[in-house]
Amino acid sequence: MVGMDSYMNTYLDRRMKHLIQDWDLATQNDLNDLETRLHAIEEDTKEIESFETSAGIKLDNLEQRLVRLKEVKR
């Protein structure tokens, strides 16, 4: 029955893999590197905040230039 046990183990492993994917469940491996992934997301968030700040400043400058150009045109 060794062949049957191996077949059943393979079948169950495959079924569990599909269940985990279908239900979007977390596995032990997912949880093990959760802190690392969270840290990476936090770093990305800091970069996005920095970009938003600099983009806001540039947009303000462009709006001021547009106002001055409209005043000169009048």
Report whether pLDDT(68) > 80. yes
Residues 37 and 72 reside in one and the same domain: yes
Residues 26 and 58 reside in one and the same domain: no
Residue 65 in tokens? 């230039």
Residue 31 in tokens? 């949880």
Residues 25 and 38 reside in one and the same domain: no
pLDDT in tens, 20-64: 889 988 888 888 888 899 999 999 999 999 999 999 999 999 999
The pLDDT value recorded for residue 14 is 93
Residues 21 and 41 reside in one and the same domain: no
Q: Between 74 and 19, where is the model more confident?
A: 19
Q: Between 11 and 30, where is the model more confident?
A: 11
pTM of the predicted model as reported, rounded to 2 decimal places: 0.49
How far apart are alpha carbons 71 and 74 in whole angstroms?
5
Residues 40 and 73 reside in one and the same domain: yes
The pLDDT value recorded for residue 61 is 97
